Structure 1
């Protein structure tokens, strides 16, 4: 749990008081998932905001035959079907683990209590929401403005860990191309 505190303090650019940290930490529950486990299925309502202690998760649309990956989350990041979490309505996508994963989880109700009872909770919530928005906006603009090769090169430069830990079929889907097109791009630039 020390990593969670470190990330929260870094996000807020401020130290959490011991009282705030104890209140926050008391709300966390630990849950382990095996590789290729579904954390949340389409049609379910997200009831948790989770911190990844260990592992990788992906967000995708579709079914067994055709899947479109639209996001990844890694160790020391928060993960949630955030739209479903905020609205408390069913989501239309899946969250799946790509490796053995350990999550520290807060319920929707517990997060509301943290916002209400801690001095830094609202600040952290706002900053986390802003970070999610900026990442989503950057990805959308890249899909609209950049060529597939440019998207791959940006991904390779900005997040090299993706290429080492995630199957290429998911990376191809994430940048909006087929695995075959990704193979051609990789051959061209190597």
Structure 2
């Protein structure tokens, strides 16, 4: 279905981001939708000068600053390339025209939203679990590709543990 979206006639523009370059800064409004052709992105917020990673996107994923996309208001999230990343970008207006042009397209968007809600529920569960080992195992089972695409220091932040704890868990 993602291939259908990419070949749908939507006006996708290709954009390349260098390592550590921002797709979006906190406090800005971003109503674009992104398809990651290659590379990886982290989405995070700042909490008292500390980064809190909430989500990753990597090759083959669709990402969006969902709060800003849906509301048209500024978001508190940063979107940053972890490594050199190439994305296809489509504006919200064009995307909405696409999803309104057919029932299958609307179902596709609903599946994306349902997946995001389910991912958010899993993320909330992860944050409520005290055991670092259990958090690690849950994420490894759910997203094994994450450990190939994203450096350990970011995964450790996402899992709310030190890089050393993550390293020990990966070895055991």
Alignment TM-score > 0.5, same fold? yes
Residue from 45, 48, 71 that aligns with 2:55: 71
Is 1:70–1:173's contact at 8 Å kept on the other side of the alignment?
no
Between structures 1 and 2, the one with greater strand share: 2
Secondary structure at the counterpart of residue 99 of structure 2: helix
Instruction: Identify unmatched segments of 5+ residues in structure 2.
Output: none
Deviation of 1:146 after TM superposition, in Å, equals: 5.3
Are 2:34 and 1:50 aligned? yes
Between structures 1 and 2, the one with greater helix share: 1
Q: How does 1:12-161 map to 2 (within 5 A)?
A: 24-62=8-46, 66-145=50-129, 147-161=131-145
Structure 2 CA distance for partners of 1:26 and 1:109, relative to 1, 3 Å: closer
Aligned structure 1 segments of 4 or more residues deviating by more than 4 angstroms: none
CA distance in 2, matches of 1:26, 1:165: 28
What CA deviation, in whole Å up to 9, does each residue of 1:104-145 have, x standing for no partner? Answer: 111111122112323422111111000111011111112213
Secondary structure at the counterpart of residue 59 of structure 2: coil
Deviation of 1:184 after TM superposition, in Å, equals: 4.3
TM-score, reference length from structure 1: 0.80
Residue from 148, 154, 159 that aligns with 1:170: 154
Secondary structure at the counterpart of residue 177 of structure 1: coil
